[in-house]
């Protein structure tokens, strides 16, 4: 961080910030106020009066909600024991706490959406009012919680929108239309998306920051490169700050529109910018290996930058300095976009390897779970169809994957987050000398730090294990773990919450830290992809061999019946797959 930012005056607390909801969480407005204050103090520093910029975008009329009483929160947890609809038996404050808790699940899964939508249905049956933000959460979860968005998800979301307006008596705002528009274009229902734009025009509603970004993606889906350029120009001229999230949307939109050269040129400029720019604040690109962390940070930055649009007209110098604080640099999502593009579309293993090389210049240990999933999927799509995706390379990738799989299991087995090694070995170049690297974790590591050539040299001198060749070290690490019995190995425990109640809060946080720190695990989706990869590149014998290895790790007898059935059906398909 630059000296000017280090010496920047610390923001003052404007009044007492109250707890919100549950477990000491702050209200969204308190969180937004703090984030905006922090970004302005770090970015504007001493050169400009950051406090005046803060006051120009924050409304003084903001009123923070009082925290619910502890007894009311305890009452809310007993809703399943209450007669239907249970929410009618709770106080207004308890209902609010309960709804807010379920409206923002940490994982956007369909099971989480069903729980919240059931509460919404109970509120409708009980004829109890809900705020627009709670309705918006219901619309979002109904359409985006089931993975790939399909027409049925859009129909469900529109149904909740109609209930909000006709039953709840609350008119949609730009946030609601942004959610619906995003769901419509991701479901491929462009006629519905156009109707939503027409409805917004009738109501004199315009998109906010997120909606403008969605329109860029919309033109990409329509293969309209001119529309993408036009929308981006409108985005900039409206005073919006361009950050890495916006650039990532441009990358995806250009690729979908067939403007591959434009997307690749933008990517090269982002990689070049990474080499030149130092992060001047803590709101820069996210290099988190966990999706939950990435989403949380992106959401936080987006809310702050949406407020900052007003600076262009009110304080143009502040706006210019703030934009300069967000250089053209990549983040984890940037690399995911191009790795996915080459794994699914081009089938160019050489280009895939080139992206991995770029990642190795930024990460000490790249996000391994993401890389292996896309790599195995690439073998499943292009095995025996394109020359580079060979059975030999698949076997090398499989051996490298097993090494990091067992290393992740070993780290999870630690009771406390002590120092240890994270292994990175490029799975596509495991035969080359000097291609492996390790990173010594220190207690408290959460994000993957940026590389340091000096620290790598010190590791080489101090770490006796590095005297082995990279391949020998990886194979030794894997082979030492292979002798473990089925009872010793449970990789799904990496993301299992069943033991949380038996641990103190400190222990739980320590386990959570390891869960999100670049771990690799074996689950239903990864098993199916690996089976497809070996089915495409090898024969039935290799498929069965790899399945027996995964079976001893995954332990089907401990898994859900539906997951086991899906895996067994895929195994059957790949064993009897016709070879051409």
**Digit-coded pLDDT (tens) for 110-132:** 888 999 999 999 999 999 999 99
Q: Does the pLDDT of residue 543 top 80, yes or no?
A: yes
Q: How far apart are the first and last CA of the chain?
A: 57
Peptide bond into 362 cis (omega under 30): no
Task: Note whether 193 and 185 are within 8 A (CB).
Answer: yes
Give the mean pLDDT of 4-32.
47
pLDDT band at 201 (very low <50, low <70, confident <90, very high): very high
> How many other CB atoms sit within 10 Å of the CB of residue 80?
6
Give the residue from 86, 88, 67, 66 showing the smallest Cα distance to 77: 86
Lowest-confidence region among 43-47, 377-381, 541-545: 43-47
Quote the pLDDT of residue 80.
65
> What global pTM score does this model have?
0.75
Q: DSSP secondary-structure letter at 161?
A: H
- Residue 543: partners with Cβ closer than 8 Å, 6 or more residues away: 531, 534, 535, 571, 574, 575
Q: Is residue 139 predicted with pLDDT exceeding 90?
A: yes
Q: What is the C-alpha to C-alpha distance for residues 125 and 132, in angstroms, rounded to an integer?
A: 18
Radius of gyration over alpha carbons of the chain, in Å? 25
Q: Over range 230-244, report the average pLDDT.
A: 95
Longest C-alpha distance within the chain, in Å? 72
Which residues face 421 on adjacent strands?
440
- Reported as half-sphere exposure (CB side, CA atoms, 13 A), residue 230 has a value of 8
Cβ neighbors of 88 (< 8 A, separation 6 or more) are 122, 126, 128
438 vs 408, more confident: 408
Contact residues for 157 (Cβ-Cβ < 8 A; gap 6+): 139, 140, 142, 143, 179, 180, 183
36-50, 56-70, 326-340: range with lowest mean pLDDT: 56-70
Could you tell me if residue 317 is left (phi over 0), alpha (psi between -120 and 50 degrees) or otherwise beta? alpha
Residue labelled with tokens 């998306």: 193
Look at residues 297, 401, 377, 366 and name the one whose alpha carbon lies nearest to residue 518. 366
Instruction: Please give the sequence-ordered ranges of beta strands (E in DSSP) within 19-166, or none if there are none.
Output: none
Please tell me the predicted confidence (pLDDT) of residue 143.
93
pLDDT of residue 104: 86
pLDDT in the model for residue 107: 74
Question: What's the pLDDT at 452?
Answer: 33
pLDDT at residue 512 is higher than 60 = no
Q: Are 243 and 329 in contact (CB under 8 A)?
A: no
Task: Give start and end residues of each alpha helix (H) in 167-259.
Answer: 174-186, 190-202, 209-221, 225-237, 244-256
Is there a contact between 140 and 177 (Cβ–Cβ < 8 Å)? Answer: no
pLDDT classification of 278: cutoffs 50, 70, 90: low
Amino acid 15: pLDDT: 36
* pLDDT more than 90, % of the chain: 46
pLDDT in the model for residue 580: 53
Lowest mean pLDDT among 199-213, 426-440, 504-518: 504-518
Whole-angstrom distance, CA of residue 36 vs CA of residue 302 = 11
> Residue 195 has which token pair?
């109707």
**CA–CA gap between residue 448 and residue 286 (Å, rounded):** 10
Which one, of 347, 328, 327, lies nearest residue 268 by Cα?
328
Higher pLDDT: 505 or 547? It is: 547
Give the Å distances, CA to CA, from 445 to 210, 305, 415, 505: 32, 28, 15, 18
When pLDDT is averaged across residues 438-461 and rounded to a whole number, the result is 38
Tell me which residue of 464, 468, 411, 400 sits closest to 441, measured CA to CA.
411
- pLDDT value of position 404: 86
Greatest mean pLDDT among 11-20, 70-79, 300-309: 300-309
pLDDT at 78 over 90: no
Structure tokens at 169: 């008596």
Q: Which helix (H) or strand (E) segment is 422 a member of?
A: strand 420-425
pLDDT at residue 357 greater than cutoff 60: yes
Q: How many other β-carbons are positioned within 10 Å of the β-carbon of residue 198?
A: 10
The CA–CA distances, whole Å, from 4 to 46, 281, 316, 324 equal 7, 11, 20, 14
Measure the CA–CA gap between 216 and 235, rounded to whole angstroms. Answer: 9
What is the structure's pLDDT at 529? 97
pLDDT of 417: 47
Tens digit of each residue's pLDDT (9 = 90 or more) over 295-347: 777 788 888 888 888 889 888 998 998 998 888 899 889 999 999 999 999 99
How far, in Å, CA of 200 to CA of 184, rounded?
A: 14
Mean pLDDT of the chain: 77
Sign of the dihedral through C-alpha 304, 306, 311, 317: positive
The CA-based angle 299-302-307, given to 5 degrees, is: 135
Which tokens hold the place of 490? 């449970």
Cβ neighbours, 10 Å, residue 51: 16
Q: For the ranges 12-21, 249-258, 518-527, which has the lowest average pLDDT?
A: 12-21
Dig out the tokens for 486 from the structure.
């089925």
DSSP 64-78: PPPPPPHHHHHHHTT
DSSP run (H or E) holding 420: strand 420-425
Report the C-alpha gap between 378 and 393 in whole angstroms. Answer: 12
Q: Which long-range contacts (CB under 8 A, 24 or more apart) does 126-134 make?
A: 126/85, 126/87, 126/88, 128/87, 128/88, 128/95, 129/168, 130/99, 130/168, 130/170, 131/170, 132/164, 132/170, 132/173, 132/175, 132/176, 133/103, 134/99, 134/100, 134/103
For residue 547 the two structure tokens come to 């399945």
Confidence of residue 281 (pLDDT cuts 50, 70, 90): low
For the chain, what are the domain ranges? 74-198, 207-276+291-330, 334-413+516-579
The confidence band for 348, taking pLDDT boundaries of 50, 70 and 90, is very high
């Amino acid at each position: 961080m630059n000296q000017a930012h280090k010496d920047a005056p610390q923001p003052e607390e404007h009044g007492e910030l109250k707890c919100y909801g549950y477990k000491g969480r702050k209200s969204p407005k308190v969180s937004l106020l703090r984030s905006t204050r922090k970004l302005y103090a770090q970015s504007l520093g001493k050169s400009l009066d950051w406090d005046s910029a803060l006051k120009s975008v924050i409304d003084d009329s903001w009123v923070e909600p009082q925290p619910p009483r502890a007894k009311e929160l305890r009452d809310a947890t007993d809703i399943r024991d209450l007669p239907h609809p249970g929410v009618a038996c709770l106080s207004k404050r308890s209902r609010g706490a309960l709804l807010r808790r379920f409206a923002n699940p940490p994982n956007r899964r369909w099971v989480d959406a069903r729980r919240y939508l059931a509460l919404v249905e109970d509120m409708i049956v009980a004829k109890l009012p809900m705020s627009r933000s709670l309705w918006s959460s219901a619309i979002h979860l109904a359409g985006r919680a089931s993975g790939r968005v399909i027409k049925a998800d859009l129909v469900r979301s529109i149904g909740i929108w109609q209930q909000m307006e006709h039953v709840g008596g609350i008119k949609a705002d730009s946030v609601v239309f942004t959610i619906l528009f995003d769901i419509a274009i991701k479901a491929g229902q462009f006629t519905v998306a156009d109707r939503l734009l027409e409805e917004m025009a009738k109501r004199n509603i315009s998109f906010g920051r997120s909606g403008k970004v969605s329109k860029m993606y919309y033109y990409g889906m329509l293969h309209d490169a001119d529309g993408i350029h036009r929308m981006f120009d409108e985005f900039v001229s409206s005073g919006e700050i361009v950050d890495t999230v916006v650039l990532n949307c441009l990358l995806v939109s250009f690729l979908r529109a067939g403007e591959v050269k434009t997307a690749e040129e933008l990517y090269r400029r982002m990689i070049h910018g990474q080499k030149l720019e130092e992060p001047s604040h803590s709101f820069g690109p996210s290099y988190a290996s966990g999706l939950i962390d990435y989403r949380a940070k992106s959401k936080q930055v987006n809310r702050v930058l949406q407020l900052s649009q007003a600076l262009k007209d009110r304080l143009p110098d502040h706006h210019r300095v703030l934009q300069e604080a967000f250089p053209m640099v990549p983040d984890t999502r940037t690399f995911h976009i191009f790795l996915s593009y080459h794994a699914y579309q081009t089938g160019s293993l050489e280009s895939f390897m080139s992206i991995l090389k770029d990642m190795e210049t930024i990460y000490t240990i790249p996000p391994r779970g993401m890389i292996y999933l896309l790599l195995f999927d690439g073998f499943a799509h292009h095995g025996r169809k394109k020359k580079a995706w060979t059975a030999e390379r698949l076997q090398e990738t499989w051996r490298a994957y097993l090494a990091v799989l067992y290393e992740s299991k070993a780290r999870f087995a630690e009771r406390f987050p002590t120092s240890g090694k994270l292994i990175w070995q490029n799975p596509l170049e495991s035969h080359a000398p000097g291609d492996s690297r390790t990173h010594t974790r220190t207690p408290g590591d959460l994000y993957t730090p940026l590389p340091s050539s000096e620290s790598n040299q010190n590791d080489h001198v101090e770490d006796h294990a590095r005297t082995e060749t990279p391949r020998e070290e990886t194979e030794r690490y894997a082979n030492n773990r292979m002798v473990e019995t089925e009872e010793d190995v449970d990789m799904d425990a990496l993301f299992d919450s069943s033991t949380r109640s038996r641990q103190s809060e400190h222990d739980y946080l320590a386990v959570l830290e390891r869960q999100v720190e670049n771990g690799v695990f074996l689950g239903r989706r990864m098993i199916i992809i690996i089976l497809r990869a070996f089915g495409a590149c090898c024969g039935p014998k290799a498929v069965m061999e790899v399945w027996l290895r995964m079976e001893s790790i995954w332990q089907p007898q401990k898994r859900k019946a539906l997951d086991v059935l899906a895996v067994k059906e895929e195994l059957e398909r790949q064993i009897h797959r016709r070879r051409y």
